[in-house]
Amino acid sequence: MINVEIDEYTPCLKQMKTGQLVQTEVVRIRRKSFLRAYNLKNGWYVNWADLADENEIYALVIEGSVDVQGLIAIRKDEAALSAFVTWMVSSPFNNKQLTDSVEYSGVGGHLFAVAAKKSIDFGFDGYFHGFAANEKLLNHYIEKLGATPLRLLHPYHFAVDCESARRLMEVYDYEYTDEEL
């Protein structure tokens, strides 16, 4: 389930109180013990440790820290010749549905860029698909990403094609770190 908004396209995250841009990194998380802190009870919509067996999980963090701003669970989908985004969420303190004072903007776009990059790594040229959490978000992704509604496996099933994925990746400036958690 994908439950993030694309609030603005920024090459880095923007701290809302100051307007300052902060550099980000993408970190792969393998340890279930680390992921247990990110769960349904504290605003992360799902128990992320449960997703680790069948997905690669990545965190968008502030550079040089493990300050998680958003998470994505993604896997290779050979049958669809694409990457499948199992889950994608902003942290509770960056989620407009959970707080009135978002700490950073730009998280959603960054996470979608990670999906595009992982699709390329998997050999699918940026093509990825997933399920929006609701109709409003599906329409948001159609407008902001140029997503195509598929509605094949789920009422809010959508895909992002290779060209849209490339445009998205051109906007974002983040580093993949070799460190894993």
Please tell me the predicted confidence (pLDDT) of residue 174.
66
Sign of CA dihedral 86, 113, 15, 58: positive
Written out in words, the top-level CATH class of the domain with range 2-180 is alpha beta
Is residue 178 predicted with pLDDT exceeding 70? no
Q: What is the DSSP letter of 79?
A: G
How far does Cα 58 stand from its chain's mean position? 8
Is residue 25 predicted with pLDDT exceeding 80? yes
| Range with the largest mean pLDDT of 8-12, 147-151, 170-174 | 147-151
Question: Who's near 44: CB < 8 A, 6+ residues apart?
Answer: 38, 71, 89, 91, 92
Is residue 179 predicted with pLDDT exceeding 90? no
Residue 64's pLDDT band (cuts 50, 70, 90): confident
Residue 97's pLDDT band (cuts 50, 70, 90): confident
Closest to 180 measured CA to CA, from 61, 93, 92: 61
Please tell me the predicted confidence (pLDDT) of residue 132.
98
Q: Report pLDDT digits (tens) over 104-163.
A: 999 999 999 999 999 999 999 999 999 999 999 999 999 999 999 998 889 999 999 999
In whole angstroms, give the CA distance from residue 21 to residue 11: 8
Is residue 102 predicted with pLDDT exceeding 90? yes
Percent of the chain with pLDDT over 70: 96
Q: What is the DSSP letter of 8?
A: -
**pTM > 0.85: yes or no:** yes
Please tell me the predicted confidence (pLDDT) of residue 173.
65
For the chain, domain boundaries:
2-180
Rounded-to-10 torsion of CA 106, 68, 5, 169 = 50
Residue 177's pLDDT band (cuts 50, 70, 90): low
